[in-house]
Amino acid sequence: DTGVSQNPRHKITKRGQNVTFRCDPISEHNRLYWYRQTLGQGPEFLTYFQNEAQLEKSRLLSDRFSAERPKGSFSTLEIQRTEQGDSAMYLCASSTGALTGELFFGEGSRLTVL
């Protein structure tokens, strides 16, 4: 499978715990995005990497959230001191450097904070 891969697919945690999600983009894609999606809503932009550089962060990304893409390949999204409001689907997408062009999404990592 050469699509975008995310893991874990599901994570249940207690409030206050830290969680980390991993995304492996399509290999030739230099752009990587993280989105968050809650039930019944469209995905909301969180952050964007071009290669290893994090170029944009949404105001939705509080100080408890941190994303990295250390070698310009896979990326991690860490949430510290999770809150119940963090429960959502975390989607990763990748794309080429074309000015237009679709984002290829992974299947997402669903987080449930108890």
Interatomic CA distance for residues 92 and 21, integer angstroms: 10
Taking contact as CB under 8 A, which single stretch among the options 11-19, 20-28, 70-78, 91-99 is the one that binds another protein?
Answer: 91-99
Contacting another protein within 10-49 (CB under 8 A):
31, 33, 40-45, 48
- The nearer residue to another protein, 24 or 80, going by C-beta atoms, is 24
For strand 10-13 and strand 109-113, is the pairing parallel, antiparallel, or unpaired?
A: parallel
- Please provide the DSSP assignment of 30-56 as one string: -EEEEEEE-TTS--EEEEEEETTEEEE
**Smaller CB separation from another protein, 37 or 80:** 37
Is 74 a binding residue for another protein by CB under 8 A? The answer is: no
C-beta closer to another protein: residue 4 or 19: 4
Q: Measure Cα distances from 6 to 59, 76, 112 in Å.
A: 23, 10, 16
**Binding residues vs another protein (CB under 8 A):** 4, 31, 33, 40-45, 48, 55-56, 91, 93, 95, 99-108
